[in-house]
């Protein structure tokens, strides 16, 4: 989900309690306590069979002396494949994660990393509402299995990041406020996990995310890629980063501002929803918004001036839409409840705050789950991380033969297909001319059109008909088929 609660870019708020880190029974897997040392001092765990259900096993690597990974079996929603939960410990900071083995061939299938957006929204939304092996419809009734889960054909991570999101926490108020900072924690985690479990080494690895994940994922993937020479030098197999997948991403915010006008005032998705007068007023502001953003956020980055430009654009394009009472994440629907609009998100929070559920997952004592953290949102707002974009990271990954999939639900408003198509067509890279020359063509599932797509040289843009911001939630079958074809290197 993507928050955008008005003008939080200019807000000042101090919130949050930081519960102390609970002690756990652990098993150290480094002969020298995980400190710096030669690669020969490293003793890998090798197999997930050694991971217990009753206590955490701790993974360390001498290349990352300040990091540890605690992991335990937690089969709370998946009967057909093993599930694990744990914490990525970075001294006094702790990131929570889930790992689900593939229902198909876990010893052969690809590995997918998933993060939700926000900034500040929990990946349990992706897990328990979208693409995970189970969903929560009613908190009291527990989980129900999802046939079209992405772990039908892949091993899948879900990570609560950055610090302060979901079950993740810091002991003394530590935090990160930029995507580049958060990327270092993710790259270290990926390296430690793959170095311990040899069966995943060399396996195709896909990094994916949604919404603000359009900013996160390209930066995270770049950090993983750039870390590989260090791993090789230490005698550790490199991570086989194969692709990134971004759903309804906020990858280029500047491209999204004019698209907000088009989605409200033209039949880009459904017939115009905005009044004629508001559309006339917005259209007059679009050029000023674009000029101000270019001068203060792109040609140069001036925090104060860029903040003012961003506030102007948000006020001009977002406020009239919010006043309509429509769902930010599906222009065809009214917002049902709260700022996130979906009652399922409320039920997920209730479920994850049950004591029995937290005990099964191994959540540290004293944690209260919230779907989205306002504090994390504001920490990132202070640095205007949203305006730094990630298109240059996307281009750099493409130039290194890392494939890129940008998929967008046709009914999403906040991170819509119009803005995402615009930046993909404008992206500067060696395949620009070939990609931009391709027409949009239908892609089909079970004989029916699932959306439109354009592709060239490893770069694919696709729409998903009838889906909103959370494509796997609205179109689970089409979503899974898209991912299976993508992992197999097939055209959509």
Which residues are catalytically annotated?
A: 211, 412, 469
HSE (CB half, 13 Å, CA atoms) of 102?
15
Looking up tokens 């115009």 gives 272
The structure tokens listed for 386 are: 């949203």
- The DSSP result for 58-120, as a single string, is EE--TT-TTEEEEEEE--SS-SSS-EEEEEEEETTEEEEEEEE--SS-TTTS-EEEEE--BTT
Structure tokens at 78: 């998946």
Query: Would residue 113 be called left, alpha or beta, if left means φ above 0 and alpha means ψ between -120 and 50 degrees?
Result: beta
Sign of CA pseudo-dihedral 224, 392, 489, 80: positive
Angle at 69 between CA 66 and CA 74, to 5 degrees: 160
Given the DSSP bridges, would you call strands 441-445 and 448-456 parallel, antiparallel or unpaired? antiparallel
Neighbours of 346 (CB within 10 A): 15
Q: Where are the beta strands (DSSP E) in 224-275?
A: 241-247
The rounded distance, in Å, linking the Cα atoms of 183 and 407 is 22
Sign of CA dihedral 179, 186, 416, 349: negative
CA distance 408 to 478: 12
SS3 assignment, position 463 = strand
Alpha-carbon separation of residue 264 from 65, 248, 284, 368, 447 (angstroms):
51, 17, 14, 37, 31
Q: Which of 226-242 are b and which e, b meaning 16 or more Cβ less than 10 Å from the residue's Cβ? A: ebbeebeeeebebbbbb
Task: Give which of 241, 204, 238, 246 is closest to 111, Cα–Cα.
Answer: 204
CA distance 313 to 290: 8
Q: Give the closest residue to 429 by CA, choosing from 397, 388, 387.
A: 397
Strands 142-145 and 134-138: antiparallel
The DSSP bridge pattern shows strands 403-409 and 459-464 to be parallel
CA distances from 74 to 78, 154, 233 (A): 9, 18, 35
DSSP state of 130: I
């Amino acid at each position: 989900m993507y928050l955008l609660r008005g003008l939080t870019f200019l807000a000042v708020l101090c919130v949050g309690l930081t519960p102390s880190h609970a002690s756990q029974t652990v098993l150290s897997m480094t002969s020298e306590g995980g400190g710096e040392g030669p690669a020969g001092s490293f003793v890998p765990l090798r197999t997930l069979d050694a991971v217990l259900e009753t206590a955490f096993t701790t993974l360390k690597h001498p290349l990352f002396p300040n990091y540890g990974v605690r992991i335990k079996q937690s089969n709370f929603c998946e009967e057909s494949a093993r599930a694990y939960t744990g914490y990525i410990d970075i001294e006094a900071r702790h990131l929570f994660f889930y790992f689900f083995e593939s229902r198909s061939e876990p010893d052969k299938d690809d590995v997918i990393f998933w993060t939700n957006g926000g900034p500040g929204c929990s990946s349990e939304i992706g897990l328990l509402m979208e693409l995970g092996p189970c969903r929560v419809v009613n908190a009291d009734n527990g989980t129900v299995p999802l046939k079209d889960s992405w772990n039908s054909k892949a091993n899948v991570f879900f990570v609560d990041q950055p610090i302060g999101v979901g079950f993740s926490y810091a002991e003394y108020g530590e935090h990160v406020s930029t995507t580049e900072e958060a990327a270092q924690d993710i790259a270290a985690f990926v390296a430690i996990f793959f170095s311990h479990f040899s069966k995943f080494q060399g396996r195709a690895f896909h990094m994916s995310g949604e919404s603000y994940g359009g900013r996160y994922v390209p930066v995270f993937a770049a950090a993983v890629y750039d870390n590989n020479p260090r791993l090789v030098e230490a005698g550790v197999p490199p991570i086989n980063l194969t692709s990134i997948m971004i759903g309804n991403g906020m990858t280029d915010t500047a491209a999204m501002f004019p698209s907000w006008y088009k989605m409200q005032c033209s039949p880009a998705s459904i017939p115009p929803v905005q009044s004629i007068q508001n559309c006339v007023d917005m259209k007059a502001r679009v050029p000023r918004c674009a000029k101000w953003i270019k001068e203060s956020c792109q040609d140069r980055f001036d925090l104060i001036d860029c903040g003012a430009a961003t506030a102007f654009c948000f006020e001009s394009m977002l406020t009239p839409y919010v006043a309509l009472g429509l769902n930010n994440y599906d222009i065809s629907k009214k917002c049902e409840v709260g700022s996130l609009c979906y009652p399922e998100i409320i039920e997920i929070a209730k479920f994850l705050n049950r004591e029995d559920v937290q005990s099964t997952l191994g959540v540290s004592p004293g944690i209260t789950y919230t779907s989205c953290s306002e504090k994390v949102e504001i920490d990132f707002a202070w640095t205007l991380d949203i305006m730094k974009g990630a298109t240059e990271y996307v281009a750099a990954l493409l130039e290194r033969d890392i494939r890129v999939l940008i998929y967008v639900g046709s009914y999403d408003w906040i991170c819509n297909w119009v803005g995402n198509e615009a930046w993909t067509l404008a992206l500067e890279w060696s395949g620009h001319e070939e990609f931009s020359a391709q027409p949009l063509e239908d892609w089909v599932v079970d004989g029916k059109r699932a959306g439109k797509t354009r592709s060239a040289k490893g770069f694919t843009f696709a729409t998903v008909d009838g889906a909103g911001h959370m494509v796997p939630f609205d179109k689970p079958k089409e979503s899974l088929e898209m991912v299976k074809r993508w992992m197999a290197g097939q055209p959509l």
